[in-house]
Amino acid sequence: MSAKSLVEEMKRGLDAPICLTWELTYACNLQCVHCLSSSGQRDERELSTEEAKKILDDLRDLQVFYINIGGGEPMVRRDFFELLEYSVANGIGVKFSTNGAFIDEEKARRLAAMDYLDIQISLDGVDAATNDAVRGEGSYDMAIRAMENLKAANFGQFKISVVVTRHNVSQLDQFKALADHYGAQLRITRLRPAGRGADTWHELHPTNGQQREIYNWLLKHGENVLTGDSFFHLNALGESLPGLNMCGAGRVVCLIDPIGDVYACPFVIHDEFKAGNVRDEGGFAKVWKQSDLFLSLREPQSAGACASCGAFDACQGGCMAAKFFTGLPLDGPDPECVGGDADEALSIISRGSEPKPSMDHSKPVTLTRKKLSVSASH
């Protein structure tokens, strides 16, 4: 079977997700300006420990190999380690994303002693000024301290996870050097206009020229750098980047949010992309296998306005979430279409008329956002 027909098979959906993200909590000690889930405050409807374990039982039965845990900041949950241990004991590997605030020396040793565990420390700048403008004051030091502690505890190869923005594209080589310094692996992902990111995307997303820089950089370093296959829209520039060239939403990917709602992917927390709730009868398995939304996403999708473009096979029209939250039609070009085919449509969408995320758990005061509006260059 060729790689292309494999992708066609995957578009029809899998018996269970390959890549399942589970945001454990909306609570967070930080208030990053691009937070996909608009996190900050805990939701009182948050899943209990017992409910969370029930989900892990379901995922084990579905033979989900590993889960990506995030938040909010997942380590603020008091049962965080209990859930980690329960997951791994059931043969479900865990990758979790954290800002590092709670990885002190003792926790680092505890994490280092566990099998089938990957840790992603979020960092969006190689210096405090660049990082903290997006992730909040003190967050750079927080992340570096966590890395030092993991290194001292001989955790092994953790990951440094970077959201690529206009302000850190020029630092890619330095991120790689930082990762090498810690014996870590670099992971870079695309900025999505989801959650609070919908408010800051226009100021933060890489320029067209920078997109080519990212593409060239990935062609050179791609084999050793993780991307979550998030830059497939750049494939329209030429040779394909490593990874799966397709939108996996509802087909191979999905999100379980802290209150058990299941969304098509981590970047579309919006009612329109909500497939169901794990608390419903039949649990997660029924949502994955039978929800109307997921079944419709597994039908052939129209290329729409992109049908006549020679690059469509390469870029697949890009990211559904990026189109949705910038107000673009889903069967048209990605807002960061490298051919510039979305530029005109974007220019006539009045700012503020785009769909808004269905929930907002932001804390009332967002100092970082105020800071950003002063420091951001346009």
Q: Which is nearer to other proteins, 6 or 330 (CB)?
A: 6
SS3 assignment, position 190: strand
Residue 303 near residue 313, CB atoms below 8 Å: no
Buried/exposed code over 43-64 (b: 16+ C-beta within 10 A; e: otherwise): beebbeeeebbbbbebbeebeb
Question: If binding is defined by CB under 8 A, does position 58 make contact with other proteins?
Answer: no
Please, what is the minimum distance in Å from the beta carbon of residue 182 to other proteins?
A: 18
The Cα 27–Cα 21 span in angstroms is: 16
Amino acid at 18: I
Question: If binding is defined by CB under 8 A, does position 15 make contact with other proteins?
Answer: yes
Question: If binding is defined by CB under 8 A, does position 118 make contact with other proteins?
Answer: yes
Q: Which is nearer to other proteins, 93 or 183 (CB)?
A: 93
Question: If binding is defined by CB under 8 A, does position 116 make contact with other proteins?
Answer: yes
- Which whole-number Å values give the CA distances from 262 to 21, 23, 240, in the listed order? 10, 10, 31
Residue 332 near residue 339, CB atoms below 8 Å: no
Please, what is the minimum distance in Å from the beta carbon of residue 15 to other proteins?
A: 6
164 DSSP β-pair partners: 190
Total Cβ atoms within 10 A of residue 79: 15
**In this chain, which stretch among 5-13, 78-86, 213-221, 349-357 interacts with other proteins, using CB under 8 A?**
5-13
Binding residue for other proteins (CB under 8 A) from 45, 49, 61, 63?
Answer: 63
**In this chain, which stretch among 1-9, 27-35, 312-320, 326-334 interacts with other proteins, using CB under 8 A?**
1-9
Please give the size of the binding site for other proteins, defined by CB under 8 A.
Answer: 15
Question: If binding is defined by CB under 8 A, does position 85 make contact with other proteins?
Answer: no
- Both tokens of 341, joined, read 């085919």
Q: Which is nearer to other proteins, 112 or 372 (CB)?
A: 112
- Sign, CA dihedral 64-228-146-256, equals negative
Question: If binding is defined by CB under 8 A, does position 138 make contact with other proteins?
Answer: no
| Interaction residues for other proteins, span 236-275 (CB under 8 A) | none
Binding residue for other proteins (CB under 8 A) from 41, 54, 57, 65?
Answer: 65
Please, what is the minimum distance in Å from the beta carbon of residue 65 to other proteins?
A: 4
**In this chain, which stretch among 62-70, 164-172, 207-215, 295-303 interacts with other proteins, using CB under 8 A?**
62-70
Binding residue for other proteins (CB under 8 A) from 90, 93, 286, 331?
Answer: 93
**In this chain, which stretch among 12-20, 23-31, 43-51, 230-238 interacts with other proteins, using CB under 8 A?**
12-20
Binding residue for other proteins (CB under 8 A) from 12, 181, 202, 356?
Answer: 12
Binding residue for other proteins (CB under 8 A) from 45, 49, 61, 91?
Answer: 91
Say if residue 378 is exposed, middle or buried (CB neighbours under 10 Å; 0-12, 13-18, 19+): exposed
The H or E element spanning position 162 is strand 159-164
Q: Which is nearer to other proteins, 11 or 167 (CB)?
A: 11
Q: Which is nearer to other proteins, 6 or 152 (CB)?
A: 6
Give residue 23's region: left, alpha or beta (phi > 0; psi -120 to 50). beta
Nearest to 183 by CA among 163, 140, 219, 153: 153
SS3 assignment, position 164: strand
Residue ranges in contact with other proteins by CB under 8 A: 1, 6, 9, 12, 14-16, 18, 63, 65-66, 91, 93, 116, 118
